[in-house]
Amino acid sequence: MSAGATGVGSLPGGDAREAAKTATGSFEDFPYLPELPARGPGADMIGRSIGLLVDMYGHVEPSGWRISDRPGRDTRRARSWLGEDLDALEEFTQGYTGRLKVQAVGPWTLAAALELHGGEAMLQDAGACRDLAGSLAEGLREHLADVRKRIPGAEIVLQLDEPSLTAVLLGRVRSASGYRTYRAVDRQVVEGALRDLFAVHDGEVIVHSCAPEVPFGLLRRAGATGVSFDFSLLTEREDDAVGEAVEGGTKLFAGVVPGTDGPLSDPGGSVMGVRKLWRRLGLAPGTLAESVVVTPSCGLAGASPAYARAAQAHCVRAARSLADNPE
């Protein structure tokens, strides 16, 4: 079996067709729906996911995205760009069969980023968080149905971006003033909301975070089939949690290729750390290819177009190296 490779989500530039061509051309076996935040508010990860919400809207303030009573220009723009991106992806996936990844921001990162009318984050209001998660679930159902209709041969993999999840769990999200932090959200509440959201999709659901201290155990218990993370931030203290996740069948989407311009090592060198992790965990090398998907460490929006293309091609070569030489 060949180890898989895919992208994380964002790409540089603002041309939807060029991005779709890159995402489908680089990853012929596991393409994804690109995001192009350089276009401006509404194309960023938070804005795009606000555009998915049902009966909940947002608009841009100098401090960021804030809740609105009705859909305005910013919400309409987010939905329009998503439609443009889906049109482009549909064009380049005619007749495609196989795995296809789509991304949305998860409920806790969204709650930490989206402001209530008074300027504080939704995170401080438990009722608002429940409403937000419910609205997101409904929007994702509609979004996934649209993707299935456009690309009927695709096995959709849903990726929820949760870079703020650890900060939410540890009470590290700063208030509007910056002088205090919001209270940590109970782990069972966090896990329950994620479990309910994962249930909207009957296929693979992975959670992505390029922040340190990814809560592997919580995500596994909530039902995530995979965890996507920046491999360079993984510490040996996390070995037990990672080992339990892998043994429980959780796939690791290992971000081993840098997300910003720089020299790329040889493909085998890029996945050397993954092989070392397997040895430390005492796992059979033969399971590497079925348990690991190689990705960039995070989105590629901050990279040059040439580097973004090179990094994605490098992921494919590194995955092949992992499959061919697991030890």
Instruction: Say which residues have a Cβ less than 8 Å from residue 193's Cβ, sequence separation at least 6.
Output: 107, 108, 129, 130, 133
Residue 85 has, within 13 A of its CA and on its CB side, a CA count of: 29
Which stretches within the chain are classed as H helix? 16-26, 45-52, 73-92, 107-113, 126-150, 165-170, 187-198, 216-222, 239-247, 267-270, 272-281, 288-291, 305-324
Structure tokens of 163? 């870079």
- Total residues belonging to the chain: 327
* CB-neighbour burial class of residue 263 (10 A; exposed 0-12, middle 13-18, buried 19+): exposed
**Three-state SS string across 228-279, please?**
EEEHHHCCHHHHHHHHHHHHCCCEEEEEEECCCCCCCCCHHHHCHHHHHHHH
Q: pLDDT by residue for the chain (327 residues), tens digit each? A: 456 999 999 999 999 999 999 999 999 999 999 999 999 999 999 999 999 999 999 999 999 999 999 989 999 999 999 999 999 999 999 999 999 999 999 999 999 999 999 999 999 999 999 999 999 999 999 999 999 999 999 999 999 999 999 999 999 999 988 889 999 999 999 999 999 999 999 999 999 999 999 999 999 999 999 999 999 999 999 999 999 999 999 999 999 999 999 999 888 888 899 999 999 999 988 888 899 999 999 999 999 999 999 999 999 999 999 888 777
Rg of the chain over Cα atoms, rounded to whole angstroms, equals: 19
- What pLDDT, on the 0 to 100 scale, is given for residue 266? 85
- What pLDDT, on the 0 to 100 scale, is given for residue 2? 52
The dihedrals phi and psi of 52, each to the nearest 5 degrees, come to -85, -20
How do strand 64-68 and strand 57-61 relate by DSSP bridges? antiparallel
Instruction: Say which residues have a Cβ less than 8 Å from residue 133's Cβ, sequence separation at least 6.
Output: 107, 193, 196, 197
How do strand 205-209 and strand 251-257 relate by DSSP bridges? unpaired
Instruction: Say which residues have a Cβ less than 8 Å from residue 16's Cβ, sequence separation at least 6.
Output: 34, 36, 81, 84, 85, 87, 88
Cα–Cα distance measured from residue 158 to residue 202, given in angstroms and rounded to the nearest whole number: 10
Bridge partner list, 278: none
C-alpha triplet 324, 97, 253: angle, nearest 5°: 45
Instruction: Say which residues have a Cβ less than 8 Å from residue 120's Cβ, sequence separation at least 6.
Output: 175, 176
Least Cα distance to 184 among 112, 101, 92, 88 occurs for 112
Least Cα distance to 29 among 294, 255, 260 occurs for 294
C-alpha triplet 211, 214, 220: angle, nearest 5°: 145
- What pLDDT, on the 0 to 100 scale, is given for residue 314? 96
Q: For residue 113, give Cα distances in angstroms to 68, 108, 118, 167, 175.
A: 14, 9, 14, 12, 10
Domains and CATH numbers, the chain: 4-324 (3.20.20.210)
The overall pTM is greater than 0.75: yes
3-state secondary structure of 6: coil
